[in-house]
Structure 1
Amino acid sequence: MDWLERTAKLRQWTRSGTRAPHKPLLLLYALGRFQEDAEGGLRYSAVEQDLQQLLTEYGPPNKTTPAYPFHHLVSDGVWEVHTDHGPGSPGSGVRDLRETGATGRLAAGFRATLRREPQLLGQIARLLLDRHFPPSLHGELCEVLGLELEPAETEQLSAARRQRDRRMRELVLTAYEYRCAFCGYDGRIGTVPVGLEAAHVRWWAFGGPDEVENGLCLCSLHHKLFDKGVLGVGDDHRVLVSQRFVGHSPAARENVIALAGQPLVGPQPGARAVATAHRNWHARQVFHGEPRPARAA
């Protein structure tokens, strides 16, 4: 059985680029726990809080529950659930999973293959990260999940996959004249820019094109906050700051909160600004909560 292929084809509710990373997050969490204890199970009542935190931090803005993937991942053949009464999930209800002692783990055949082929775990984890999250969050997710991955290349699937355009970074940074679109940072060492990155507005994993109108030149800090849904771009090309962001230090106020309502820095005349469709996708699928009002001048 090709577990890499099966993982790539997880059945998810999707429509018009809607993010539904519930199953990938649960599977990544299970892989991290498998590295710690290959025989241990994940009792729903014991891991519910961890899974809910993952969905809150890395899932879509709308409220959701980890009970849904805990039950439905079984249908993909990579996950199994047992209760105090025997094999089989009691359903996707939170109360049912708690009261029946529902415990999940990677499917038996999957676990056996991972023991025989240890490199497969890293390949599957990297595939899930690549398909469902932007690169700026990969390292953070691995740390949160306790995943220890070797810097090996992910095995390519037999099906054709989109290839990234390596020119994207240079095109975006040039369009924004090597300045962060949110704060104007333009640091260099000699002639080489440092701490500047090309951010996809609509994530590449969700059909975002490698084009200037889907990109922003951002410093490393604001790129991470943009991909976490703390920052966004409004219809008037001004910076949005989530009301959910809390920061009391002068640095947090100056570098994040004070950006609310500020116009973007760039792009230069003649370069395409962020397209409305991509801004709207980010606002619906990534940005968390309501934006803060702009500060009075």
Structure 2
Amino acid sequence: MDWLERAARLKQWTRGGVRAPHKPLLLLYALGRYQRDAEGELRYSAVEGELQRLLDEYGPPHRTTPAYPFHHLVSDGVWEVRSDRGPGSPGTGLRDLRESGATGRLAPDLRDALRREPELLPRMARSLLDLHFPPSCHGELCEVVGLDLDPVEFVALSPARRQRDRRMRDLVLAAYAYRCAFCGYDGRLDTVPVGLEAAHVRWWALDGPDEVENGLCLCSLHHKLFDKGVLGLDDDLRVLVSQRFAGRGAAARDQVEALAGRPVLGPVPGALPVAAEYRAWHAVQVFRGAARATAPA
């Protein structure tokens, strides 16, 4: 049985192209727990809060419930659920899962495979990360779900599905004159740009192409905030700041809130700006909530 292929083909809810990483998040969480306790079970009532926080932070902008993946992941053959009523999930209702003492864990055949093949766990984890989340979130997501992956193994064992264009970073940074399109940061160490990254507007993991019109040169901070939905772009390529963002200090005001309504810096003449289709995808799939009013001049 090809467990990597099975994990890569998790059946996901789809409607209007909205991303739904509910099952991948639960599977990553289960792999992290398996790494710490191979025989342990996850009682829904005990882990519901942690799973909800995962969905709130890494799931779609609209709020959803962890009961959905807890119940439906069984159909993918990688997960099993039992309750006080016996084998099988009692349903998708929160009350059903809580009151029946529902517990879940990786399917027996998958647990056996993980015991036989220690390299399978990091390969599955990396595949799930690559297929559903941007690279800027991989490290922190592993920390949140408790996955301890060897850095070399983490990169080397990723199954090849789409090949990235290695020129993407150089092309995007050059198109934006080696400065952050949001704040203008342009730091270098000697002659080498530091703290600048090529951000995909439509995530590469979700079919975003390695093209300049799907990229922005952003500093490390604003890249992370862009991928987490704190920052976005409007139709006029001005910066959006989510009303849900809150910061108490001057740094949060100066580096985030003050960006509201600011025009994107670049690209240079002759380079393509962010295409409308990719900006629209980010607005629907990533940006969190309504945008705050333009910062005063």
Calculate the TM-score normalised by the size of structure 1. Answer: 0.97
Q: Which amino acid aligns with 1:215?
A: G
- Which residue is 1:80 aligned to? 80
Cα displacement string for residues 143-189 of structure 1 (whole angstroms, at most 9, x for unaligned residues)? 111100122112536xxx22111111011000000000000000001
Cα displacement string for residues 43-95 of structure 1 (whole angstroms, at most 9, x for unaligned residues)? 00000000000000000001100000000000000000000121000111111
SS at structure 2 position matched to 1:180: coil
Q: What runs of 5+ residues in structure 1 fail to find an aligned partner?
A: none
> Alpha carbon RMSD of aligned pairs, Å?
1.0
Q: Aligned pair count?
A: 294
- Which residue is 1:215 aligned to? 215
Q: Distance in 1 between matches of 2:216 and 2:14?
A: 26
- Which residue is 1:250 aligned to? 250
- Which residue is 1:8 aligned to? 8
Q: Does 1:156 align with 2:159?
A: yes
Aligned-residue sequence identity (percent) comes to: 74
SS at structure 2 position matched to 1:240: strand
Shift of 1:15: 5.0
Shift of 1:17: 4.2
Shift of 1:118: 1.3
Q: Distance in 2 between matches of 1:277 and 1:154?
A: 33
CA contact (8 A) 1:17 1:207 kept: no
Calculate the TM-score normalised by the size of structure 2. Answer: 0.97
CA contact (8 A) 2:67 2:92 kept: yes
Match runs of 1:151-190 below 5 Å: 151-152=152-153, 153-156=156-159, 161-190=161-190
Match runs of 1:39-118 below 5 Å: 39-118=39-118
Match runs of 1:200-279 below 5 Å: 200-279=200-279
Q: Distance in 2 between matches of 1:231 and 1:182?
A: 10
SS at structure 1 position matched to 2:252: helix
Shift of 1:14: 3.0
Q: Which amino acid aligns with 1:65?
A: T
Q: Distance in 1 between matches of 2:158 and 2:214?
A: 28
Q: What runs of 5+ residues in structure 2 fail to find an aligned partner?
A: none
SS at structure 1 position matched to 2:64: coil
CA contact (8 A) 2:126 2:158 kept: no
Q: Which amino acid aligns with 1:203?
A: W
